[in-house]
Amino acid sequence: MNIKPLIIGDLIAKVPIIQGGMGVGVSLSNLAGNVAKNGAIGVISAAHPGYMEEDFEKNTLAANLRGLTKHIKKAKEISLNGIIGVNAMVAMNNYIEHVKTAIEAGADLIISGAGLPLNLPEITAGSSIKIAPIVSSAKACKLVLSYWKKHFNRTADAVIVEGPLAGGHLGFKKNNLDNDIVNFDKYVSAVIEEVKNFEKDFDKKIPVIVAGGVFTHEDMMRYLNLGASGVQMATRFVATHECDAHPNFKNAFVNCKKEDIELTISPVGMPGRAIRNKLTETLKTQRVKITKCYDCLIPCNPGTTPYCISSALIKSVKGDVENGLVFCGGNAYRIDKLLYVKELIDEMMGQSLAQPEIII
Ligand SMILES: Cc1cc2nc3c(=O)[nH]c(=O)nc-3n(C[C@H](O)[C@H](O)[C@H](O)COP(=O)(O)O)c2cc1C
């Protein structure tokens, strides 16, 4: 089977891979720019992209919007004609400001999950930016796309179906996770079928992209054969030299074992997958005192939340992988070394076995 490019409206990625957005600070301009430079789609996370700005602690929102603009522009410089997306979580406070800033800074695509991005067409109206919801089931897919059709006469430019092996927050309940893992390919097929209804309504192709646990060339081919147009991968991109996180964060992926990967609680109210450490052990029995609120998540109440997720993610990306939260996908234990982005993409494409077919 020839590997076809991933086409999202007028965007053409010769490698059908989206590098998943990873907050806080794990996927910024260096990773996204290098992924895009190598023919796939690079994605910058809009979760505190300004955490390295000098005024971040005092003027968090201003620092984040500035940081987001800087990183989009820098990624575009690295990749020239590459495709750069932004991952903005619906659960974030100031979601609208981040999406608008991404448009102004020249991003090509907005990917939104951690909630249903019901108003995304309204926020992006008048721009040519592409929009892609992240869903975990055909039901959620139908709900979002029906809402968009009814209220905005608009549909998605792509749909990402994210499964239970993904990293970060999961759109699945903890008590049924094993079952969801077994059935995930069926969920993918159901989403592909659901999307076909909207393709007919809008007379346009809506690529479905599969995320969560994609590790090998064979995994990617399995989903392409099922009818997907591409895959979204994050965990494997953490273990690259170009990833924006501290080396300790990357090495935590290289060194972890299967039994070190567990589900933990999150102020978002969804389970999150992370590498076991001092923080996740502490959270099993007690709260971690909040010293500062970054006003980051709508569902979070600083008075009752078990810990501050912003502060935990900032700690880990800066290298404190014991007291910080190290989100990872279910397959992180299979990583044994760091690669360059190009090596990873070549491996995923089956080395030189398959040359991407470029449609001009
Ligand atoms: C370290 C890390 C951080 C992540 N952060 C986010 C995030 O901020 N927003 C989001 O929508 N998804 C996030 N994800 C999910 C990824 O974008 C991606 O869809 C998923 O992890 C794919 O599965 P894989 O890691 O098995 O390849 C994160 C994943 C990881 C590993």
CA–centroid distance, residue 203 to ligand 1 (Å)? 31
Residue 296 confidence (pLDDT): 87
22 C-beta closer than 6 A to ligand 1: yes
Q: How much of the chain, in percent, has pLDDT values that exceed 90?
A: 85
Q: How confident is the model at residue 326, as a pLDDT?
A: 98
The residue whose CA has the least distance to atom 11 of ligand 1 is: 113
Phi and psi torsions of 105, nearest 5° = -80, -5
Q: What pLDDT does residue 243 have?
A: 98
Q: What is the pLDDT, as a whole number, of residue 353?
A: 44
Nearest alpha carbon, ligand 1 atom 5:
22
In this predicted model, which residue has the larger pLDDT, 170 or 265?
Answer: 170
Q: Is the CB of 28 under 6 A from ligand 1?
A: no
* Residues 53-65, mean pLDDT to the nearest whole number: 96
Contacts of residue 130, defined as CB under 8 A and 6 or more positions apart, other chains included, come to: 8, 9, 11, 108, 109, 110, 157, 158
Residue nearest to atom 27 of ligand 1 (CA): 233
CATH of 6-248+332-348 given 3.80.30.20, 1.10.10.10, 3.20.19.10, 3.20.20.70: 3.20.20.70
Mean pLDDT of 310-318: 97
How many angstroms separate the alpha carbon of residue 307 from the centre of ligand 1? 20
**What mean pLDDT do residues 245-264 have?**
97
Q: Render 113-151 in DSSP notation, one character per residue.
A: -SS--TTHHHHHTTS--EEEEEESSHHHHHHHHHHHHHH
Judge if the beta carbon of residue 266 lies within 6 A of ligand 1: no
For ligand 1, whether the C-beta of 164 sits within 6 Å is no
Query: pLDDT, tens digit, for every residue of 109-144?
Result: 999 998 999 999 999 999 999 999 999 999 999 999
Mean pLDDT of the chain: 94
In this prediction, residues 16-37 reach a mean pLDDT of: 98
Please say if the pLDDT value at position 352 is more than 80.
Answer: no
**Which atom from ligand 1 is nearest to the alpha carbon of 165?**
26
Ligand 1: nearest atom to the Cα of 24: 8
- Straight-line distance from the first to the last Cα atom of the chain, in angstroms, rounded to the nearest whole number: 20
Q: Is 329 in the pocket of ligand 1 (CB under 6 A)?
A: yes
Residue 359 has pLDDT above 80, yes or no: no
Per-residue pLDDT at 290: 86
Relative to the CA of 47, which ligand 1 atom is closest? 8
Residue 316 CB less than 6 A away from ligand 1: no
What secondary structure, in 3-state letters, does 296-307 show? CECCCCCCCCCC
- Could you tell me the distance, in angstroms and rounded to a whole number, from the CA of residue 23 to the centre of ligand 1? 8
Binding site membership of 256 for ligand 1 (Cβ less than 6 Å):
no
Domain-wise residue ranges, the chain: 6-248+332-348, 256-317
pLDDT of residue 360: 47
Q: Which two tokens stand for residue 25?
A: 């600070």
Confidence of residue 354 (pLDDT cuts 50, 70, 90): very low
**Whether residue 269 has pLDDT greater than 90:** no
Q: What is the pLDDT of residue 322?
A: 97
- Please tell me if the CB atom of residue 232 comes closer than 6 angstroms to any atom of ligand 1: yes
pLDDT number for residue 76: 98
pLDDT at 119: 97
* 38-72 per-residue burial string, b: 16 or more CB within 10 A, e: under 16: bbbbbbbbbbbbbbbbeebeeebbebbbbbbbbbb
> Tens digits of per-residue pLDDT, 192-232?
999 999 999 999 999 999 999 999 999 999 999 999 999 99
Mutate to test the pocket of ligand 1, among 208, 235, 314, 333 (most ligand atoms within 8 A of CB): 235
| pLDDT for residue 262 is more than 90 | yes
Q: In terms of C-beta density within 10 A (0-12 exposed, 13-18 middle, 19 or more buried), how is residue 127 classed?
A: middle
The residue to mutate among 18, 22, 188, 243, having the most atoms of ligand 1 within 8 angstroms of its beta carbon, is 22
The pLDDT value given to residue 301:
85
Q: Is the CB of 264 under 6 A from ligand 1?
A: no
CA–centroid distance, 360 to ligand 1, in Å, is 31
Q: Hey, whose CA ends up nearest to atom 10 of ligand 1?
A: 21
